[in-house]
Amino acid sequence: MDRHGSGGLVTDEQWERLTASAMTRRFARGEALLRQGEVGGGVHLMLNGRAKVVSVRIDGSCVPLAFRTRGEMLGEVDAGVVAAAWAGASAGGTEAGRALWSWFDVLSQRRTDSETSRMLLRAAMVNERFLLALKRNLRRWRHAHTRRAPVLEALHRALSKDEEDR
């Protein structure tokens, strides 16, 4: 299946596992999935249909921002969850660096993906071990690849700036 956005970061096998273990919920046309400013209950996997993402102005009017369709994810993953998953995987002996390289490979194909980059940076700020692994693996990925990827270069600059600020 062709997936975009955050949904494009997972393999077909991973997508199948996610959807198999997820609770299915249908929304009526026009029904809100998430509301601006409210804490969500997780991530929505778009199996069918499409959703309009809007920003609500102070006067109540809506400004369309994007559309999400089948194969995409909606919502925000908590950085603490990512950091905890990383800590658990690395403590259990899982080669978590491979997962980062997979993310880097996908991100390298994109011109922009600030959503994923921000999530990785927030997770790195929550967990020092994740921060070190992210820096180490990104440095190795950049060394192994001759072409520069805008998204990864921006992530590298953000991680370097964080190091300078410390």
pLDDT digits (tens, 9 = 90+) for 82-136: 666 666 666 655 566 777 777 787 777 777 766 677 777 877 887 788 888 889 8
- To the question of pTM greater than 0.75 for the whole model, the response is no
CA 121 and chain centroid, separation: 10
Angle at 46 between CA 45 and CA 48, to 5 degrees: 145
Sequence-distant (≥ 6) Cβ neighbours of residue 5 within 8 angstroms = 68, 72, 73, 115
Q: Which of the four pLDDT bands, split at 50, 70 and 90, describes residue 145? A: confident
Q: How far apart are CA 37 and CA 18, in angstroms?
A: 26
Tens of pLDDT, residues 42-67: 677 888 888 888 878 888 888 887 78
Residue 166 has pLDDT above 60, yes or no: no
d(CA 146, CA 67): 34
pLDDT at 152: 87
β-strand 44-45 against 73-74: which pairing, if any? antiparallel
pLDDT above 70 covers what percent of the chain? Answer: 73
Cα–Cα distance measured from residue 26 to residue 166, given in angstroms and rounded to the nearest whole number = 46
